[in-house]
Amino acid sequence: MALPDADGSTDQAEVIGYDPMRSLAVHLVRPKMSIWARLANIWRYRDLLRGLVAKEIRVKYKDSALGFIWSLLNPAMFILIYYIVFQKVLGNGIPLFAIFLATGLLCWNLFQSGVLGATGSVVGNAALVKKVAFPREILALASVGSAFIFFLFQAVVLAIFLLVFGVTPDLSYVWLTPIALLALLVVASGLAVLLSAINVYMRDMQHLMEILLQAWFWATPVVYPFMLIAAKTSKLHLTWLYLVNPVTPVVLTFQRAFYAKTDPVGVGGVVVHILPHYSPMWYLGILGILIAAGVALVLVALSVFGRLEGNFAEEL
């Protein structure tokens, strides 16, 4: 039996044999769940995932007069500005530059929006994380899902540009674009889950990603042609290093399918080398490698997320 303290009270820890250090150790034990169980759990909550995606889309344009039209105007204005700067002012010499830019920008916006939005998703939904039991990875995946929906809206802009400029897609490559889109979604999902967990402990990660994604954009052939870099790196046999960027093969696939020109004739009859003369099978092969790498990234991200989420409530 515990003795009363000087103030007449009794220490509850002594009454029940409570060891504070032991309690702390137990508190830090993280629940163990296999990666496959986590995947199954995410699938079980797929309706919640759809609901969160719909909520993100509604919230973004809540009380907006134009609503979803803004998702069309933003990329259109971006393309117009870059077209004026690079085509008219700087004279980059790329024929139909608006189409070239739109195809690459379509992919980049999906990747950037999904990853950047997901990085702060867990922290931004702290109240939900601490009160409701559900797979927390869904918060990050919802950001990627909403970015995909906006991708579909912005694809309308590309279709309009194709009609206005009278450009016919190359059907021998168009069938590769769903595979490229799948690869991009898998990679973005892996990064989204990984970064959302890390950001709970390192709040600067979200700001860091904003800077890194700016640099990443210029490391991807969206504004300039891939062959410009390939010509400089081929002598050093480093072109493969440029292709390590997971967004590059996806952008190249969309450009090859919808821009559909490898060596167009530019201003003054000068041939401009823009895209490589790779066969559809080359694109299929590199996209297959990218999907495999993306799946590995997703599995690693789920493993890391599972190790870190045990203390989310305390950190938030």
For residue 25, is it within any domain?
Answer: no
- Tell me which DSSP letter residue 3 carries: P
> Which tokens is 165 given?
């400029």
* Tens of pLDDT, residues 81-128: 777 776 666 666 778 888 888 899 999 999 999 999 999 888 888 888
Report pLDDT digits (tens) over 228-276: 888 877 766 677 888 889 999 999 999 999 998 887 776 666 777 888 8
Q: Which of 148, 161, 182, 188 is nearest to 258 (CA)?
A: 161
Least confident residue range of 18-27, 75-84, 242-251: 18-27
Structure pTM? 0.83
Predicted local distance difference test score (pLDDT) of residue 28: 38
Answer yes or no: are the C-beta atoms of 96 and 165 closer than 8 Å: yes
Q: Is residue 298 a part of any domain in this protein?
A: yes
Instruction: Flag whether 230 is in a domain.
Output: yes
In tens, the pLDDT along 170-228 reads 999 999 999 999 999 999 999 999 999 999 898 888 889 999 999 999 999 998 888 88
Output the CA torsion sign for 105, 83, 225, 280.
positive
How many domains does the chain contain in total?
A: 1
Q: Is residue 10 part of a domain?
A: no
- Please give the Cα distance from 103 to 252 (Å, whole number): 9
Q: What are 271's strand-pairing partners?
A: 265
Asked whether residue 126 is assigned to any structural domain, the reply reads yes
Nearest to 176 by CA among 260, 78, 99, 92: 260
Which residue segment(s) compose the domain that 43 sits in? 34-315
Longest dimension (CA), the chain: 98
**φ, ψ for residue 302, nearest 5 deg:** -65, -40
Is 286 among the domain residues? Answer: yes
Is pLDDT of 305 > 70? yes
In a domain, 217, yes or no: yes
